[in-house]
A and B are shown apart, each in its own frame.
Chain A
């Protein structure tokens, strides 16, 4: 390509997608370069989906600042984009009296960060707020919330795309050459040039930064395993439940977190890994997740586990060394207009919109080089309401209007044929089964796609002319099938 973009963003996780959305409000040529075949395929799609209140961030850090700024902006963006979220609150639970001091520390922390309405409550009050939890005392955090992390990432990215930001998926950056007045990124899909660069490559941000700046620090992968419980039990958790902190900076312990879709998550664990690509769930850790969660929730229905996943945090603190590290925006003297976002772990999701604003204001566009688009020029792409969640009268009306809404494809989650087709016709051009899953919700239910996969195969062959080789799980390297069983013989 001979074109030189105004700004290139490396990495389309939740932060890259937020940056893309913020960029799309300006006139200019912008590109997001992402090694996965969809957005949000790494940590952004494998976390707890929490809108943090700010009680866990050390005061006077960037983490605290962007958490508090971000959480307000995040809710605004979710409203604009129709992304599911809920300020359901959280209980941090002390199981023994010795842990109450830890709750008080969190209160002090929270107050210093400006978190309102924190109260340490009695077991009776805790039970009234969240039945079924065992404790001697609990900290109620009413401003904590949950959000669908993959819906948020996809919605922001697709909104950016319909407003002119280009997304180059399946493009891994393997080298960056500074040229006069631009950067040339060598990728697996050709060389991309841009005048300004934002590195939001998450777990790979250190490696990408060192392509320009050999002194850039290492980013260490730290895995977190999760278990997912059947939606059937979702109503039992009205809010997140966390154990009181035992040791400072040792991760957050095993949480019980409801999701916006009605599932319940157990986790994450926390252990450093060697290779982020091979991080996966293990027997030992998932057994421990259940054992530890059961301490908080004695009636935990273990037989209703329907799935597991593992995400990878980006840590700037090395294994065995520990300590605290803040969000890092690294620039290099002599290299203008390139900024690397390093160590964006929790509360990165909560902070994403404000991180995006900050990066543009302070690093990428401080010179106000680009004109803002007037509101009438902006198109809004909203995350669609889920058919299954609509009132019955609305469902009836929609089925009359679009007959494909009468054909339920994913019976566990009530996803219709029309929703499947809408998911595959997305503006990013994502054509993976995983892409359909995260956009439509199909196959995220208890049967794990056993029922809907064959129907999705039928629909896409019939309606979009796919052949068996077109079905891939996450990209060309993960084909679902091995071609057709029978081919026509031409005698």
Chain B
């Protein structure tokens, strides 16, 4: 009997669920407890068989008040695509001003999921401090 605890992130309840399964996890072999709704079962199954992850990283910004903007994949992508998506993002440089939600990459590693900015970066004023 295998067991794992996880937090279901499908809704604000954020149920802490206990997942037990024998052999290969399928909707037959899996038993989920602690979920307030049935969607938790589907979440648990996907997490065990085709885990997806959200990539959160940063990109360079030119001419901004900070040198980086933080970014994320707009939805979780297959775990095995994370590294390729990360490398694609690392090649991008944006010009300030950068807005939250601005698309950095239309399609991360062929997953069809875009990468978007999560922290706005205003343009830097050109004057330095007075003294």
Q: Which B residues lie within 8 Å of A403 (CB)?
A: 129-131
Is B130 within 8 A of A485, CB to CB? no
Per the 8 Å Cβ criterion, residues 233-274 of A in contact with B are none
Q: Are A486 and B129 in contact (CB under 8 A)?
A: no
Q: What 0/1 pattern do residues 454 to 491 of A give for CB contact below 8 A with B?
A: 00000000110000000000000000000001111100
Residue pairs across A and B with CB atoms within 8 Å: the count is: 25
Report the Cα distance A487→B93, complex, angstroms: 9
With A486-B90, A489-B93: A402-B131 Cβ-Cβ less than 8 Å: yes
Contacts of A486 in B (CB 8 A): 58-60, 68, 90
- Interface residue A291 (Cβ < 8 Å from any Cβ of B): no
Interface string of B44-68 (1 = CB under 8 A from A): 0000000000000011101000001
Of B68, B91, B130, which is within 8 A of A489 by CB? B91
A378-409 toward B: CB 8 Å interface, digit per residue (1/0)? Answer: 00000000000000000000000011100000
Given A486-B68, A486-B90, A489-B91, residue A404 in contact with residue B131 (CB < 8 A): yes
Interchain CB contact (< 8 A) of A488 among B60, B128, B130, B131: B60
Using Cβ atoms and an 8 Å threshold, which residues of chain A touch B58? 485-486
Point out the residue from A404, A462, A488 that lies within 8 Å of B93, measured CB to CB. A488
* Distance of A411 Cα from B131 Cα, bound (Å): 21
A489 contacts which chain B residues (CB < 8 A)? 90-91, 93
Interface string of B109-131 (1 = CB under 8 A from A): 00000000000000000001111
Q: Taking beta carbons and an 8 Å cutoff, which residues of A are in contact with B?
A: 402-404, 417-418, 462-463, 485-489
Q: What are 10 inter-chain pairs, A to B, with CB distance below 8 A?
A: A403-B129, A403-B130, A463-B128, A485-B68, A486-B60, A486-B68, A486-B90, A487-B60, A488-B60, A489-B93
Closest 10 CB pairs of A and B: A486-B60, A489-B91, A403-B130, A402-B131, A488-B93, A404-B129, A488-B60, A404-B131, A486-B90, A403-B131
Interface residues of B (CB under 8 A from A): 58-60, 62, 68, 90-91, 93, 128-131
Other A-B pairs, 20, CB within 8 Å; known A403-B129, A488-B93: A402-B131, A404-B129, A404-B131, A417-B129, A462-B128, A463-B128, A463-B129, A485-B58, A485-B68, A486-B58, A486-B59, A486-B60, A486-B68, A486-B90, A487-B60, A488-B60, A488-B62, A489-B90, A489-B91, A489-B93
